[in-house]
Structure 1
Amino acid sequence: MTKRNKIVFIPLDERPCNYEFPYLLAQGTGVHMARPPMEMMGLKKRPGDTKRLWGWLEEQSADADGAIIALDTLLYGGIVPSRLHDMDHPQVAERLQRLRELKRWNPDLKIFAFQLIMRCPQYSLSDEEPDYYADWGREIFRKGYIGHRSQLGIATTEELAELEDINRRLPAEVLEDYMGRRAVNTSVILDVLDLIAEGTIDFMIIPQDDSAPYGHTAKDQQKVRAKISELDLELKTYMYPGADEVGCTLLARMLNGNLNKIPLIYPRMASVKGPFVTPLLEDRSFYESLKYHIMAAGGLIASSAAEADLILLVNTPGETMVEATSQEQANFSYDVYRNIVELVEYGDYMLRNQGKPVAVADIGYMNGADRKLVKLLKQKEMLFELAGFAGWNTSSNTLGTVIAQSMIYLHDGPTQQHLDFLALRYAEDLCYCSIVRTALNQGEVEAMGLSRFELDGQRGRVAQLVKQRLADALEERVNGNAGRVEILDCCMPWNRTFEVGLSARYLLSES
């Protein structure tokens, strides 16, 4: 770093992917990242203390060079509380105007912000939604989906009949509550665009969480896109699939900007059809999202490997994406329509023979890494020589995480912090998401008298079991001559099996 910078960071919520990942990536860069104390943050449906968060942000921003701000946290208390609040538009808009004060007190402060368009899940489950979503979630989604298609004149006769049935059954008070909150949230995003136009916010990402081509969320996106175009903000406001990775993305963008660097990334795909696959929970072909993720982090796609600063190996699906839990069954699309052996051989050649930094975006499956791919990387002793690795949750979550890590690697090299983050990725993305969690969800937690949505606390018997299982999986699938991973801490942040909170470190293997 040419100078020591201070970045103030307001996370999207308290989960490790939002609260920890950007902070961990900032370590070892020469940048001081300040984040709010955990007691100010919320806990899933319980909102964070927005009054204290605003006060903390205003105090910390006075001498900062940059701020990375999740507006959903400042306005609503977090990503889940943004779907549950009962505020009206003027109440939220009043909070938003306080951003102007940050620039007034510190005119040199660069503000990068992000805010989600409220999602509309396709299923009936209230785990992260209002309680009534357990009974009416699918109907709310289908009403928006079919209604949108009807407006466009493309709804089928069967869909229109389904819509009539939903209109008869869906309680008016449920729909009024849901649509009223959507309207407030969308109106506030339109207000945010005015702050970008006036220069209060320097760069903005509007990530699409669980997006679909039709429905309530798609219609809200159209409204936002129209105003972005009206205000000529296309170069300052990006909208694309993602959510929990955006803190990492904006950190990379800020670091690249501080160094006046525009990294060129050359993506190499595992399959010919891979760039055209639409990942699960997203609304466009993979390659279109890839462009945005690289640009948002401050880079560009290279036209050749020769000119690239980084080679990004992308483990794309062969034809369609499936869940990581399906890896135990043979799948023709994965076995025949892609070639991960060639992908790894190419990466090994570029790393060893051409001296190019190589990273791996493992998006072959949703919600977990590809066991076979990691096996091949281990055989090549590449696991701890990579510039970055990720393979968790959605395709976009993975892309944003690995692109940010690998861009930081280009600046700072294989620091201990970099190796520790690689260790964390193998422990979480491979060993937990693709192996340990699968077993837990196949009846083990129920056998303990629990549910995958309600465990025995953040540090109960399940957390202890997970830590031991992870150590065993790491020993079998990751640890070797090139190094080993040690789990220092394990918890279940939201008291469910979906996410895990880990502290991991890389150690040299004993000779």
Structure 2
Amino acid sequence: MRRADTVLKIAYIPLDNRPCNYDFILKAAKIKGIDIITPTEEKLGKFTTHGDVEYIRKWLMNLRNVDYLILSIDMLAYGGLIASREMELNVDPYGFAESIREFKKNNSNCKVYAFNIIMRTSISVKDEKTYEYWKLINEYSFLAYNEHENFSRIKELEKIIPKSILDGYLKARRRNNEVNNISIDLVNEGAIDFLVLGQEDCDKIGIHLLEQERLLTKIRELGLEEKIMMMPGADEFGQILFVRVLNDISRMKIGRLVYDNDRLKYVIAQYENIPIYETLDLHIKAAGFDINEVNDQIILYVITPKIFDDIIWIDDDHYKYLEGVKAKDVYINDEELDAYIKDHKIIIFDLCHANGGWKELIYFLSENDLLHEIYGYTAWNTASNSIGTALLFYALLYEENKDSKLFLEFLIERFYDDFLYQSIVRPKINKILQKEGENIHLFREFKYNYNMILCELMKKHDEIIKKSILNKPIKILENLQIKDYHIECSFPWNRTFEIKVDVKVQI
């Protein structure tokens, strides 16, 4: 363990340049007063433009005197997460291993914390046609786990899905599985000190389980169970490994976990393949916490998974519940939540459904004048993604050596991004763009000023947040009030799936 006041040199190669992978880490480091170095942002690529792998490998091999390296193997091998699903690359994907070996040789005392993604069970969506293929390949991947039982339907799908698309998907799976195996070998060699194998979007069963089983067998045979962990997720692992670094610097106890419904902690969240309590425990351990050493002063309040998010997009008046969930389970434990917020520091893991915050929860917090009293909130994309950011909030909050103003700005950004955009504004901007004949999965930058439309819609619907924060005693600021705050929003990629939010608070 290192002293908290030691000046460290931390290097970070992110999964791509989206805010969740890039901005979150840089902002977290700034909140804690830690210097962190990354490759130049434009070299990380942008959506369909892959990262500059040759540049990044050279950047890595030229580093010296580094104490920690947080490393996305997918960026180093392919040029990012989107590139990892493609077969046509301008680089040898296997060359990443030698650059890691060379880095470790030049920085023998550096701890290398890496993550590598087990491929999702479908392709990237770039338009309505690929969205249809995305659904069909998901079905194919689901059935492939029991190939003999599902033989006839698999053959039907092979006729429906264009051969080039299905073949490309299956070849990418095989190649990525080889990279997963090489990553394990690098741990066995000592070139990587700790590795997370993250399972991107999947189902309870499917082709991915066949790969997982073989990878886990190899890990056990090599005796690497303490150095390699496998769990659902992808975009959150830079945050998880940053927290692991903070735990190395100054050991933290994990906050007290409270589930809003103890029975529903056994539910499997959408896009994942194990119960939510197992997913949470694995992320906690990967972040360097001992699950048995508990800090009762901070409550980690978990809103359990309940609803399919794609049903919400279709018609939010008629929910489809996750397996094991009934209508009577979809409620807010208002008295309990009210008491925890008033008596403790609380971080809310809103895992009710994927891709956005649970409206009823935010409405409850706003109407009961509680929103300004919480210390962390996250509700973006999959349950695993949100868990990663919630644990980052916890690590930033844990000790006093943080910039409280920057911390508050990061929290307000989550209200605007995870709740306001994903749950309120995104469906509206999708309708506007689709009415104009636009492709929301890969839109044309030159036709409209999409960022202007985005900002107008965000301002139009943000009263619920503003009235809950302005002129309120903010707990994070020791009950000081904020006079105002300024929001800037934009699309980091040419799609409506996510946004970039920056907040500046005036005290």
Aligned residue runs from structure 1 range 333-352, under 5 A: 333=326, 336-351=329-344
User: Within the alignment, does 1:316 sit opposite 2:307 as a pair?
Assistant: no
Task: Give the Cα separation in 2 of the matches to 1:484 and 1:160.
Answer: 64
1:430 is aligned, of 419, 433, 454, to 419
In structure 2, relative to structure 1, the CA distance for the partners of 1:136 and 1:500 (3 Å cut) is closer
The two structures have a TM-score, normalised by structure 2, of: 0.88
Aligned AA for 1:295? K
Q: How many residues align?
A: 486
8 Å CA contact 1:118–1:209 kept in 2: the answer is yes
Task: Give the Cα separation in 1 of the matches to 2:343 and 2:413.
Answer: 25
SS at 1:26's partner residue?
helix
Report the equivalent of 1:12: 15
Aligned AA for 2:210? K
In structure 2, relative to structure 1, the CA distance for the partners of 1:92 and 1:477 (3 Å cut) is closer
User: Within the alignment, does 1:107 sit opposite 2:104 as a pair?
Assistant: no
Question: How far off its partner does 1:320 sit?
Answer: 4.5
Task: Give the Cα separation in 2 of the matches to 1:401 and 1:107.
Answer: 30
Aligned residue runs from structure 1 range 55-454, under 5 A: 55-59=58-62, 61-86=63-88, 91-121=92-122, 126-127=125-126, 136-150=133-147, 155=149, 159-168=150-159, 173-259=164-250, 261-302=251-292, 307-317=295-305, 319-323=306-310, 325=313, 328-329=316-317, 333=326, 336-351=329-344, 357-379=345-367, 381-411=369-399, 412=401, 415-441=404-430, 443-454=431-442
Task: Give the Cα separation in 1 of the matches to 2:426 and 2:315.
Answer: 13
Aligned AA for 1:85? M
The two structures have a TM-score, normalised by structure 1, of: 0.87
Report the equivalent of 2:479: none
Report the equivalent of 2:502: 503
Q: Which moved more, 1:47-56 or 1:332-341?
A: 332-341
In structure 2, relative to structure 1, the CA distance for the partners of 1:458 and 1:113 (3 Å cut) is farther
Task: Give the Cα separation in 2 of the matches to 1:187 and 1:174.
Answer: 20
Question: How far off its partner does 1:309 sit?
Answer: 4.8
SS at 1:115's partner residue?
strand
8 Å CA contact 1:361–1:398 kept in 2: the answer is yes
Report the equivalent of 2:26: 23
Q: Deviations over 1:465-488 (max 9, x none)?
A: 211222233333344332477344
Q: Which moved more, 1:177-186 or 1:426-435?
A: 177-186
8 Å CA contact 2:270–2:353 kept in 1: the answer is no
Question: How far off its partner does 1:57 sit?
Answer: 2.2
Q: Deviations over 1:365-384 (max 9, x none)?
A: 21111222223333555434
Question: Matched residues, percent identical?
Answer: 27
Task: Give the Cα separation in 2 of the matches to 1:337 and 1:204.
Answer: 36
Question: How far off its partner does 1:43 sit?
Answer: 1.4
Question: How far off its partner does 1:132 sit?
Answer: 9.0
In structure 2, relative to structure 1, the CA distance for the partners of 1:457 and 1:380 (3 Å cut) is same
Question: How far off its partner does 1:393 sit?
Answer: 0.9
Question: How far off its partner does 1:326 sit?
Answer: 7.2
Q: Which runs of 5+ in 1 are unaligned?
A: 352-356
Higher relative contact order (CA 8 A, sep 6+): 2
Task: Give the Cα separation in 2 of the matches to 1:177 and 1:337.
Answer: 41
Task: Give the Cα separation in 2 of the matches to 1:340 and 1:462.
Answer: 39
Q: Which runs of 5+ in 2 are unaligned?
A: 473-481
In structure 2, relative to structure 1, the CA distance for the partners of 1:485 and 1:246 (3 Å cut) is farther
Aligned AA for 2:184? L
Question: How far off its partner does 1:315 sit?
Answer: 1.4
Question: How far off its partner does 1:167 sit?
Answer: 4.3
Aligned AA for 2:423? S
Aligned AA for 1:66? Y
1:35 is aligned, of 14, 18, 38, to 38
Q: Deviations over 1:288-310 (max 9, x none)?
A: 10101111112233587xx5352
In structure 2, relative to structure 1, the CA distance for the partners of 1:381 and 1:203 (3 Å cut) is farther
Task: Give the Cα separation in 1 of the matches to 2:228 and 2:236.
Answer: 17
Aligned AA for 1:24? K
Report the equivalent of 2:478: none
Aligned AA for 1:269? Y
In structure 2, relative to structure 1, the CA distance for the partners of 1:264 and 1:138 (3 Å cut) is closer
Aligned AA for 2:181? L
8 Å CA contact 1:186–1:220 kept in 2: the answer is yes
SS at 1:248's partner residue?
helix
8 Å CA contact 1:419–1:505 kept in 2: the answer is no
Question: How far off its partner does 1:197 sit?
Answer: 1.4
Task: Give the Cα separation in 2 of the matches to 1:167 and 1:455.
Answer: 30
Q: Which moved more, 1:375-384 or 1:263-272?
A: 375-384
SS at 1:98's partner residue?
helix
Report the equivalent of 1:492: 491
Q: Deviations over 1:137-175 (max 9, x none)?
A: 444443333232135xxx3xxx44312323455555544
Q: Which moved more, 1:431-440 or 1:483-492?
A: 483-492
